């Protein structure tokens, strides 16, 4: 009798566990169009084109055989949950799939974590061809696949060839980059992964050493997005983006650096007293009466000023860690720049603030327009910042 009773308990436990794992699916309708997606693990031409020098002395055919021996995790996942995942991404994003079909290319080596268009997932390593870091495995690999799909999902909001342009396409947070669009994609990916991988498996993957290293916008993501923007079919990502003010602290914090408007058309300033002529950041520090480092001099034509640092700002932490010396301060900022950006906590006029020091890059005229117009004023009630065609 006891054995029979315990047998019933075990069966009930298994049934409850299965139901609990599938409860996420009950909130989705699974209606609407999804593209046809194939798994391509035989693209030797793609693989060799990515690393032509490497494959001068290496057999691409043998690497294709290696892929066929190591792609079972993704192929089995896609066979069982691929269609469901495409529906879930559509419903959680609030964006429709516009493309009818595409392939997921599996390669042994790739230069980065992956690509969303074309959708490329490395299974062996990531690097420049001379050395490679091991690619993620298990649920960390599946999270990468979901993340690249989420990035592709967001790209559906902007399809100029099909004249599809959603209102959120003009929002500053939709601008490509580690601290804006990539964080939106990660939020969408993690929320979707909860349904197809399970909450615990998803969060274990996100908290892994691999993803801690390969998510440069993580600090901002966990402060502003994770457990703050709760996605559901009733309030998808598109609604959250549209509701975010163009002048919000999140938008201001993540704004890419731009040259000073006053200096954009003039000859570069050659010398600031107290600063060397060369140097990427362009500021000096002094110690105040509390023995904390304060910005003493700053060059308005260089990176620190372009990212919002100002004379008199008192340094508190960089990347969540206290700074111990001027050397430590600069090293932490430069290390952050190598990862895409350094989050710097300061005290300005007695108030705590945070700035993000990002690398400067060349922008075309349309990007300058985008930064100057849409981030300095909220759009109209439609949520769309329309270009001014009269200028």
Q: Does residue 18 form part of some domain?
A: no
**Does the N-terminal peptide bond of residue 77 adopt cis geometry, omega within 30 degrees of 0?**
no
| 261 or 199, which is more confident | 199
Please calculate the CA angle 358-360-365 and round it to the nearest 5 degrees: 125
Residues 178 and 86 grouped into a single domain: yes
Q: Name the domain count of the chain.
A: 2
Q: What is the pLDDT of residue 273?
A: 53
Same domain, 335 and 213: no
Give the integer Cα–Cα distance in Å for 122 and 335.
26
If one counts every other C-beta atom within 10 angstroms of the C-beta of residue 74, the result is 20
Q: Are residues 37 and 91 in the same domain?
A: yes
Instruction: Check: CB of residue 314 under 8 Å from CB of residue 294.
Output: yes
Residues 168 and 54 in one domain: yes
Residue 344: inside a domain: yes
Is 290 found in the same domain as 247? no
Q: Residue 379: which of 210, 183, 248 has the closest Cα?
A: 248
* Res. 340 pLDDT band, cuts 50 70 90: confident
Average pLDDT of the residues in 223-251 = 95
Average pLDDT across the chain, whole number: 83
Range of the domain at 85: 31-252
With CA atoms as reference, report the closest residue to 159 among 99, 104, 94.
Answer: 99
Cα 337 to Cα 303, 341, 366, distances in angstroms: 11, 4, 25
* Residue 90 resides in a domain: yes
Categorize the per-residue pLDDT at 366 as very low, low, confident or very high, splitting at 50, 70 and 90: very low
Query: Residue 329: which CATH number?
Result: 2.30.42.10
Nearest C-alpha neighbor of 207 from the set 290, 146, 291, 143: 143
Q: What b-and-e string marks burial along 180-211, b requiring 16 or more CB atoms within 10 Å of the CB? A: bbbbbbbbbbbbbbbbbbbeebbbbbbebebb
The answer on 165 and 97 residing in a single domain is yes
- Collect all residues with Cβ–Cβ distance below 8 Å to 357 and sequence separation of at least 6: 257, 281, 303, 304, 307, 309, 333, 336, 337, 341, 342, 344
Is it the case that residue 371 has pLDDT exceeding 90? no
Average pLDDT over residues 156-170: 75
Highest mean pLDDT out of 33-37, 176-180, 286-290, 313-317: 33-37
pLDDT of 386 strictly over 60: no
Q: Are residues 307 and 192 in the same domain?
A: no
3-class secondary-structure state, position 61: helix
Residues 248 and 293 in one domain: no
Q: What is the pLDDT of residues 259-284, one digit of tens each?
A: 655 444 444 445 455 555 567 788 88
Query: Is 90 in contact with 157 (CB distance < 8 Å)?
Result: no
**Residue 350 β-bridge partners:** none
Same domain, 201 and 337: no
Q: What 3-state DSSP class applies to 277?
A: coil
Contact assessment for residue 201 and residue 146, using Cβ atoms and an 8 Å cutoff: no
Residue 260 is predicted with a pLDDT of 56
Residue 13's pLDDT is what? Answer: 42
* 93-113 tens-digit pLDDT: 999 999 999 999 999 999 999
On whether both 232 and 310 belong to a single domain, the answer is: no
- Which is more confidently placed, 270 or 365? 270
Whether residues 149 and 192 fall in one domain: yes
Helices (H) and strands (E) in the chain, counts: 14, 13
Q: How far is Cα 212 from Cα 244, in angstroms, rounded to an integer?
A: 26
Place of tokens 């990176």: 303
Tens-place pLDDT, residues 32-77: 999 999 999 999 999 999 999 999 999 999 999 999 999 999 999 9
Say if residue 176 is in the same domain as residue 66.
yes
């Amino acid at each position: 009798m006891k054995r029979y009773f315990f047998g019933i308990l075990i069966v009930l436990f298994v049934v409850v566990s299965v139901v609990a794992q599938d409860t996420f699916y009950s909130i989705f309708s699974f209606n609407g169009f999804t593209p046809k997606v194939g798994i391509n693990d035989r693209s030797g031409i793609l693989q060799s084109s990515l690393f032509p020098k490497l494959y001068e002395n290496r057999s691409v055919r043998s690497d294709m055989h290696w892929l066929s021996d190591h792609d079972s995790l993704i192929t089995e996942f896609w066979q069982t949950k691929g269609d469901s995942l495409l529906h879930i991404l559509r419903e959680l994003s609030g964006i429709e799939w516009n493309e009818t079909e595409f392939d997921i290319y599996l390669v042994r080596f790739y230069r980065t974590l992956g690509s969303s268009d074309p959708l490329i997932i490395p299974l062996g390593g990531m690097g420049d061809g001379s050395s490679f870091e091991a690619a993620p495995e298990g649920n960390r690999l599946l999270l990468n696949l979901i993340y690249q799909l989420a990035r592709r999902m967001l790209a559906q909001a902007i399809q100029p060839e099909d004249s599809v342009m959603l209102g959120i396409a003009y929002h500053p947070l939709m601008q490509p980059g580690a601290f804006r669009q990539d964080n939106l994609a990660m939020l969408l990916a993690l929320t979707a992964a909860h349904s197809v991988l399970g909450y615990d498996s998803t969060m274990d993957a996100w908290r892994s050493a691999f993803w801690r290293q390969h998510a440069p916008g993580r600090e901002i993501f966990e402060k502003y997005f994770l457990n703050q923007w709760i996605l559901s079919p009733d309030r998808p990502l598109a609604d959250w983006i549209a509701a975010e003010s163009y002048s919000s602290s999140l938008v201001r914090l993540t704004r890419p650096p731009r040259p000073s408007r006053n200096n954009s058309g003039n000859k570069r300033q050659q010398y600031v007293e107290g600063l060397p002529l060369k140097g990427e950041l362009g500021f000096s520090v002094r110690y105040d009466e509390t023995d904390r480092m304060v910005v003493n001099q700053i060059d308005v034509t260089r990176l620190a000023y372009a990212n919002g640092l100002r004379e008199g700002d008192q340094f508190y932490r960089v990347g969540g860690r206290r700074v111990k010396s001027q050397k430590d301060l600069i090293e932490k900022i430069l290390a952050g720049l190598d990862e895409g950006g350094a989050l710097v906590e300061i005290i300005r006029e007695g108030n705590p603030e945070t700035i993000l020091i990002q690398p400067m890059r060349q922008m075309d005229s349309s990007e300058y327009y985008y930064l100057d117009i849409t981030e300095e004023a909220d759009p109209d009630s439609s949520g769309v910042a329309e270009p001014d065609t009269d200028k």
